[in-house]
Amino acid sequence: MTDKTYEPAAETVARAHVNAAQYEEMYARSIKDPDGFWGDEARARLDWIKPFTKVRNATFAHPDVSIRWFEDGALNVCANCVDRHLATRADQTAILWESDDPAVDAKITYRQLHEKVCRMANVLKGQGVVKGDRVVLYLPMIPEAAYAMLACARIGAIHSVVFAGFSPDALANRINDSAAKLLITADEAPRGGRRTALKANADEALLHCSDKVKCLVVKHTGGQTTWVDGRDVDVKAEMAKVSADCPVEEMNAEDPLFILYTSGSTGRPKGVVHTTGGYLLHAAMTHQLVFDYHDGDVYWCTADVGWVTGHSYIVYGPLANGATTLMFEGVPTYPDASRFWRVCEKHKVNQFYTAPTAIRALMGQGEEFVEAADLSSLRLLGSVGEPINPEAWLWYNRVVGKERLPIVDTWWQTENGGILISALPGAIATKPGSATRPFFGVEPAVVDPQTGKEIETVEAEGVLCMKNAWPGMFRTVYGDHDRYVSTYFSDFKGYYFSGDGCRRDQDGYYWITGRVDDVINVSGHRMGTAEVESALVAHPKVAEAAVVGYPHDLKGQGIYAYVTLMAGDEPSDELRKELSDWVRKEIGPIAKPDLLQWAPGLPKTRSGKIMRRILRKIAENEHESLGDISTLADPSVVEDLIENRKNRD
């Protein structure tokens, strides 16, 4: 079933920016002559303040990894996303905002966007923010989130967006790690008819930060908040007072644009650093070609700006292309499961980009919610965040796409900046569950994890690596370049290691099989098992904890926690709830264990290493195939874990 190939429809091919022959030709050039290829693209797609003379200066060679693109060029991201469109499309909608409340929406034209961004930039300057300073954003999905990102870019400040679902502790860690000067938040974040008290969370976070950190507050719902005089600033009121003119800062192509924290297999989340020129080029080009965006289209990516998808495909890519980008504050199931489709109908959406977890959730609600809406404006469907299972793909294709729309399953990561493997709608036939083929300039390698050698045959199975630098890739881990090198460039020397497993089929198509490290993907959100473990062991009653993923019908993967209590503490349902709430408080609701098993002991090797392979098998209810357990220090603990396992599906 999954090997069936879907050829693009004739109308898709006719409209597409790139057809099959052009894809082959452009791809070949991008690999053979990357300097020529990317130099041309960068000149054609971006406005430069100072033209570059050098395209690429990059090496993956261990341990001196260093990546630079267009390094002697200068430009400004905000000027490229806003100012340069004023001459031709000042009155076109830039941001189409759909509130959580289905009765409320707003259209912000490029002219208005320019004014708002300049005002916001002047407010930041007024607070002493200068080029190179870090600014943390903790905001709902409101236009002010885009204004704030672009305002930072305009004056050369580095933004770090923290997903509004993260806890005060997680927020404080990110403010402190990046030594941010300022936090921008809102009173409340409405989602699905409920409100999260963002400002109250921010207040709590700021107790753990330097008292020099200022807090700009967007009064969005008007909900009650406490106010700290001298620290808190009403942004909208300040924006009304300051000038609507703000010059753009000339930025070197390699100056940082933003930091985005993401989970890895060890330790605290890493601050992934993206820079100016290469990132914007990659975001803009992939947005145009992968989604086949044309002038006048209405494009909707349902991600949150707290994740990289929101950065590249709600804000930077679309706005660089002068697009109309839809920004949605709500959730797919509020007021009911037809919301996505109602929004597509209401705003005549042409490209719709969402995550498999949302598709699976909506699949379960029944087709009538989709049928109720007129989806005739749609021309393309996209998927991102996790492998899309063929059932979800086929439903998306049949029920939403009416078997006439191309589906682009886009594989990429926070670290990558933009899409690396995906179909181009008019050029590449699709297969349900495969991300298909690499984007221009992207050279994947399937590497044998045992030998570390690249598998050269077309059909291959192993771990997914990249052989060469692409413009949008991250340049470092904030404040810790050694961690950059050791996490991504050391296991397989000479390659970028993605952390994903994959298979390449006889047609050269890539099938991503999921993470091979201790990262789990819960509803498209990346979570390090180590992060959840360290939250659990921080609880005074927990002696030890081990966390693994297990297959979950809706979320893709669920969080399964094994917990050993301190001597003298007894398991109880109250304690189970207490631990769950504890993790929620430490990290955020997305990290709450779905299943929590009391473990009198954990399976360990004689050297004391937890055998996660065994814990994963038990969590997956695959305890029949545990493999060799004779090397365990105490094999009897396994019996108890199997007997009391929580997943019996």
Using CB under 6 A, list all residues that contact ligand 6R9: 262, 307-309, 384-387, 409-414, 435, 498-500, 512, 514-515, 521, 526
- Return the number of other C-beta atoms located less than 10 Å from residue 530's C-beta: 17
The answer on whether 500 is annotated among ligand-binding residues is: yes
Residue closer to ligand 6R9 by CB (options 169, 415) is 415
Q: How far is the CB of 177 from ligand 6R9 (least distance, A)?
A: 18
The residue number whose beta carbon is nearest to ligand 6R9 equals 414
Residue closer to ligand 6R9 by CB (options 357, 564) is 357
For residue 63, give the nearest of 498, 496, 490 by alpha carbon.
Answer: 490
The answer on whether 395 is annotated among ligand-binding residues is: no
Helices and strands of the chain, counted as H and E runs: 22, 30
Q: How far is the CB of 306 from ligand 6R9 (least distance, A)?
A: 10
The answer on whether 89 is annotated among ligand-binding residues is: no
Residue closer to ligand 6R9 by CB (options 298, 502) is 502
Q: How far is the CB of 467 from ligand 6R9 (least distance, A)?
A: 17
Cα–Cα dist 476/489, whole Å: 11
Q: How far is the CB of 297 from ligand 6R9 (least distance, A)?
A: 22
Residue closer to ligand 6R9 by CB (options 162, 308) is 308
Residue closer to ligand 6R9 by CB (options 255, 409) is 409
Total count of residues recorded for the chain: 649
For residue 129, give the nearest of 273, 272, 238, 229 by alpha carbon.
Answer: 238
Distance of CA 637 to the CA centre of its chain: 38
Q: H/E element holding 310?
A: helix 308-310
The answer on whether 628 is annotated among ligand-binding residues is: no
The answer on whether 487 is annotated among ligand-binding residues is: no
The β-bridge relationship of strands 74-75 and 182-186 is unpaired
The answer on whether 542 is annotated among ligand-binding residues is: yes
Cα–Cα dist 150/114, whole Å: 9
- Alpha carbons within 13 A on the beta-carbon side of 212: 7
Which residue is associated with the tokens 């940082």?
A: 256
Residue closer to ligand 6R9 by CB (options 308, 599) is 308
Residue closer to ligand 6R9 by CB (options 73, 438) is 438
Cα–Cα dist 19/496, whole Å: 29
Residue 240 burial (CB < 10 Å; 0-12/13-18/19+)?
exposed
Cα–Cα dist 436/423, whole Å: 6
* CA distance readout (Å), 606 to 273, 533, 577, 630, 631: 40, 21, 33, 10, 7
The answer on whether 114 is annotated among ligand-binding residues is: no
Residue by residue, DSSP assigns 445-484 as EEE-TTT-PBP-SSSEEEEEEESS--TTS--EETT-HHHH
Which residue is associated with the tokens 């609880």?
A: 539
Q: How far is the CB of 433 from ligand 6R9 (least distance, A)?
A: 9
Residue 232 and residue 223 in contact, taking contact as beta carbons nearer than 8 Å: no
The answer on whether 515 is annotated among ligand-binding residues is: yes
Q: How far is the CB of 387 from ligand 6R9 (least distance, A)?
A: 4
Helices (H), 489-635: 529-537, 573-586, 612-619
The answer on whether 192 is annotated among ligand-binding residues is: yes
The answer on whether 360 is annotated among ligand-binding residues is: no
Residue closer to ligand 6R9 by CB (options 167, 383) is 383
Residue closer to ligand 6R9 by CB (options 286, 321) is 286
The answer on whether 277 is annotated among ligand-binding residues is: no
Q: How far is the CB of 495 from ligand 6R9 (least distance, A)?
A: 15
Q: How far is the CB of 186 from ligand 6R9 (least distance, A)?
A: 23
The answer on whether 287 is annotated among ligand-binding residues is: no
Q: How far is the CB of 405 from ligand 6R9 (least distance, A)?
A: 17
Binding residues for Mg(2+): 537, 539, 542
Residue ranges of the binding site: 191-194, 309, 385-387, 409-414, 500, 515, 523, 526, 537, 539, 542, 584
Q: Which residues are annotated as a binding site for CoA?
A: 191-194, 309, 523, 584
Cite the annotated binding site for ATP by residue number. 385-387, 409-414, 500, 515, 526
